Structure 1
Amino acid sequence: MPAYVIFTRESTIDQSELDIYASMVPAARVGHEMTARVRYGAFEMLEGDPIEGCVVIEFPTMDAARNWYHSPAYQEAAQHRFAGSRYRAFLIQGVE
């Protein structure tokens, strides 16, 4: 069953840290089956606090998503995301 990692960026703190993060993410994808479904496209807030943008990544399973997120390569990149912004991130199981 598919699974999705969803990131919502609430605020940018340091754009240079986000630029480093963006440069490291492609290497963190290697060896992981994943498809970006949303990447900072146009959006309209319908409810809740405003966000700056959203990313939705599809994985074949919850375990595949966890393996990518907790991989050393992604966690190394994520340190720059943490330093450069405030995000919310969560993993959710999809439907067939």
Structure 2
Amino acid sequence: MPAYAIAHLHNPRPHPDIVEYLERIQATLDPFGGRFLVHGAGVEVREGVWPGTIVIIEFPGTAEARAWYESPAYQEILPLRTRNIDGAAILVEGIGPGYDPAVTAETMRRNLPAAS
């Protein structure tokens, strides 16, 4: 199943380090099959508050996503971003083909406490 690295970034401070990070990040992704799905796009907030932007990078699986994030090549450039842009980053496993939310709902319904 695919996995994703997702970053919610805000308060960017323009700096040459950010340019260098952007110039070097793709080379850190390539060995792990990582590719940008969303990068630098504006967001259209429909619920709640969402300051900033989002970055989504897809990997073939969780192992590749972890290996990329922990790789010496990425760890070397990571401070270029974190010193100049606030945010949070997560790794999350995707769902496989044929996922049916009704099946998840059925499982949840069976585990609900009985109504009294």
TM-score under structure 1 length normalisation? 0.87
SS at match of 1:92: strand
Q: CA RMSD in A?
A: 1.4
Q: Deviations over 1:51-79 (max 9, x none)?
A: 1x211011111111000011000111111
Instruction: Report the Cα distance in structure 2 between the residues aligned to 1:6 and 1:74, rounded to whole angstroms.
Output: 15
State the alpha-carbon separation in 1 of the partners of residues 9 and 35 from structure 2. 19
* 1:74 match: 74
Count matched residues. 95
- Segments of structure 1 that go 5 or more residues without pairing to the other structure are none
1:39 paired residue number = 39
1:2 partner letter: P
Q: Paired residue for 1:20?
A: 20
Q: Which residue of 1 aligns with 2:88?
A: 88
Shift in Å, 1:14: 4.1
The answer to which structure, 1 or 2, has the higher relative contact order (CA under 8 A, 6+ apart) is 1
The two structures have a TM-score, normalised by structure 2, of 0.74
Structure 2 distance, partners of 1:26, 1:49, is: 26
AA matched with 1:72: P
Report the alpha carbon displacement of residue 34 of structure 1 after superposing the two structures with TM.
1.6
